[in-house]
A and B are shown apart, each in its own frame.
Chain A
Amino acid sequence: MPRGYIPILIFLVLAFAFPVVTILVAKLVRPSAPGKTKLEAYECGIPSDADTRGRYSIRFYLVAILFVVFDVETIFLIPWAIQYNVLGLFGLIEMLVFLAILIVGYIWIFRQGALKWV
């Protein structure tokens, strides 16, 4: 393991223990009196007849997949950015070609109205 990750490992363990321990400790002092009505979903009071997990707008899916595309793009930019001066003009042109192809795509989805929510 590369140097410097042991402290992070310790931090991970503690940061995980903190919420777990506090929930369990709070259990000792808090009251617990569940009732049928109390455990219903927070809605209008009438038992809901449809399952919550139904169908939702396709736009959420669209946002998620476009995010993945742009996220990959950002990741590709990072190694270029930290080697910016070393790669110089050649690197910049490479990156501009890379971005140009994606900007074409971006303009296309923009024109298609895929970014419009309503």
Chain B
Amino acid sequence: MQLDSILFYLFAVQILFSALMTITRRNVVYSAVWLISTLVGVAGIYLLQGAEFLAGVQIILYIGGITVLFLFVIMLVPVSEESKQRRFSSQLWIVLIVAVLLTGELGYFLWQGADSFQMGEPTPPAEIGTVTTNSEQIGQVLFSEYLLPFELASILLLVAMIGAVVMAKARPGAE
């Protein structure tokens, strides 16, 4: 559909531009704001692909959770000192050369293999049984096929919880 492609390019430009701004801003809060814009763009792309649940989760977790965490951390440190630091290290030239090489390599192989790309219409999410909506499919798959990763996720969360508390705990010797 026409509208879908227009929206895709809008989101793509938004993601790339915002990502570029994120890494080039001197002020970390500006970086965070541009990061939000990047993540919103990604949510938009998910939505275009029909992954509604993922789009919602992207906004709730990445923007409402992780970016808020970033902003909290930014507020814990004085910004003025940060912005006086040198941002780019002296390895700029090496990085540039490697980046150009990698881009060239990737571009070459993409160009060589261009025939094998199948750019079909985005297929609507497959219907599993009677379930149709995206979130319900995720429920079905997550609790049957991906049972072990799901349970392991809770261990990961447990580690994150304990790690945060241990790190934040005042040590007897410090200040």
- Footprint of B on A, CB under 8 Å? 1-2, 5-6, 51, 53-56, 58-62, 64-69, 71-73, 75-76, 78-80, 82-83, 86-87, 90-91, 94, 97-99, 101-102, 104-106, 108-109, 112, 114
Which residue numbers of B lie inside 8 Å of A, CB to CB?
1, 3-4, 7, 47-48, 50, 52-53, 57, 60-61, 64-66, 68-69, 72-73, 75-80, 131, 134-136, 138-140, 142-143, 147, 150-151, 153-155, 157-158, 160-162, 164-165, 168-169
Q: How far is the CB of A81 from chain B (nearest CB, A)?
A: 8
Cβ 8 A contact of A79, one of B47, B53, B72, B154? B53
Q: A79 with B78: in contact, given A62-B164, A64-B69, A94-B147 (CB under 8 Å)?
A: no
Given known A68-B65, A75-B57, A101-B155, contact A80–B139 (CB-CB < 8 A): yes
Check B135 against A79 for contact (C-beta < 8 Å).
yes
Q: Min CB distance, B17 to chain A, in Å?
A: 18
Residues of A within 8 A of B76 (CB): 55-56, 58, 60-61
Total cross-chain contacts (CB, 8 A):
143
CA distance A83 to B129 in the complex (A): 13
Q: Across the interface, do B140 and A86 meet the contact criterion of CB distance under 8 Å?
A: yes
Across-interface contacts of B50 in A (CB, < 8 A) = 1-2
Q: When the two chains form their complex, are residues B160 and A65 in contact, meaning their CB atoms are under 8 A apart? A: yes
15 A-B pairs in the complex with CB atoms less than 8 angstroms apart? A58-B168, A62-B168, A64-B69, A65-B69, A65-B160, A72-B153, A79-B138, A79-B143, A94-B151, A97-B154, A98-B153, A99-B154, A105-B161, A105-B162, A108-B161
